[in-house]
Amino acid sequence: MTDDASVRRLAVAFLRRVEAVLGLGHLPVTAVDEPVFDRVPATLGERPLTSLDLITAIATIQEETGLSLLDKVDLAEADTLMRLASLAASKADQQAIERFCATWAPTRESTP
């Protein structure tokens, strides 16, 4: 999973999972390109996020994909969900990523 469409699908899956775990409601796909992790205050789809929200989102993605995302170097590189997806696609177990995408982005929703 290294092509742009696959990475975008993974970013959308991350978005949909974060929406669900944080109760944000449906956000536009364009939210995957917004800075999330390096912004104070943090927002996603113009919705404010607390530091606990960010920890919950990262922990959920980490648990469900088997990827350790709490490394400061990795998080510094991943300011958007798209960059996080690119990082995950290069490091995570591909079967876990495919299962995650099948659950959270089954329609290949990938265009803004």
Identify the bridge partners of residue 42 per DSSP, sorted by sequence position. Answer: 49
* 54-61 average pLDDT score: 88
Helix ranges (DSSP H) in the chain: 4-22, 51-65, 72-77, 81-91, 94-104
* 66-92 average pLDDT score: 78
**What is the model's pLDDT at position 99?**
87
* 15-23 average pLDDT score: 95
Residue 17: pLDDT band with limits 50, 70, 90: very high
* 44-62 average pLDDT score: 88
Taking 80 as the threshold, does the pLDDT of residue 22 lie above it? yes
- How many other C-beta atoms can be found within 10 angstroms of the C-beta atom of residue 62? 15
Report which of 10, 13, 18 is spatially closest to residue 36, judged by C-alpha positions. Answer: 18
Taking 80 as the threshold, does the pLDDT of residue 64 lie above it? yes
